[in-house]
Amino acid sequence: MGLAIQVLHPALFSKNEKEAINAYEKFILMETPEKINRIFSQRKLPSMLGGDRFVDKVKGRFFHKKRHDEIPESKKLAPDVKKIKRAICDAYGVDENSLLSSRRGVLNEPRDVAVFLVRRLRGEKLEEIGRQFGIAKYSSVSSAIEKMKREVSANRKLRLRVKDIEKTLFNSQ
């Protein structure tokens, strides 16, 4: 992911050439705000700079086009786990605590869809997904994801529901 740089031309500061050059020089000589200095002095620069609304707008516009499993940085464009959980709860009419509960042999579709989408959209590690949903074994997370892949593939109604949730997530960013 590249860094976009806006190049300023003195003519942007004034129509009068002398005023434009003076304003441009003043702008160039301005002290850089401390917040900017802190950002650029970090070892690892953030993938995007801007306020929450700007970052959400960029994510919403580009994530579905740029998500790639082999590019870890692309997951930064993905909706965060909290947004995925919220979208699942809204779609199923459940509260977030229900995404943490499970009983052997009893299907918890909202939870399974949430686990599936966190893996699919964010590429999170199985251990991290387990931690987010109160699943102790990463092998159980893997089983839930594989089961949901098969279900989504076989069940048209579920597939449409998952697509609607994804659309909601992308439109809300």
CATH number of domain containing 148: 1.10.1750.10
Rounded to an integer, the average pLDDT of 16-42 is: 80
Same domain, residue pair 19 and 91: no
Do 85 and 22 lie in a common domain? no
- Considering 3-7, 106-110, 118-122, the range whose residues carry the highest mean pLDDT is 118-122
Does residue 7 belong to any structural domain of this protein? no
pLDDT at position 71 is 54
**Among residues 152, 70, 65, which one has the least CA distance to residue 116?**
152
How many structural domains are present in the chain?
A: 2
75: pLDDT strictly greater than 80 = no
Identify whether residues 36 and 121 lie together within a single domain: no
Asked if the model's pLDDT at residue 45 lies above 50, the reply is yes
User: Residues 121-144: what's their mean pLDDT?
Assistant: 90
Residue 68: alpha-carbon gap to chain centroid: 13
Place of tokens 């970052």: 55
> Could you tell me if 20 and 86 lie in one domain?
no
**Same domain for 156 and 81?**
yes
Specify whether 114 is located in the same domain as 59.
yes
74 with 132, same domain: the answer is: yes
Q: Are residues 66 and 139 in the same domain?
A: yes
d(CA 152, CA 27): 55
Instruction: Assess whether pLDDT exceeds 90 at residue 44.
Output: no
Averaged pLDDT for residues 75-100: 88
The values of phi and psi at residue 103, to 5°, are -135, 135
Query: How high is the pLDDT of residue 148?
Result: 93
Same domain as 163, residue 137: yes
Tell me: do 17 and 61 sit in the same domain.
Answer: no
What's this model's pTM, rounded to 2 decimal places?
Answer: 0.60
Q: What separation, in Å, do the N-terminal and C-terminal C-alpha atoms of the chain show?
A: 19
The pLDDT > 90 percentage for the chain reads 36
pLDDT at 123 (0 to 100): 84
Tell me what pLDDT residue 111 has: 94
Domain of 25, in residue numbers: 12-40
Does 164 lie in the same domain as 117? yes
Are residue 119 and residue 140 in the same domain, yes or no?
yes
- Asked which of 2-11, 24-33, 148-157 is least confident by mean pLDDT, the reply is 2-11
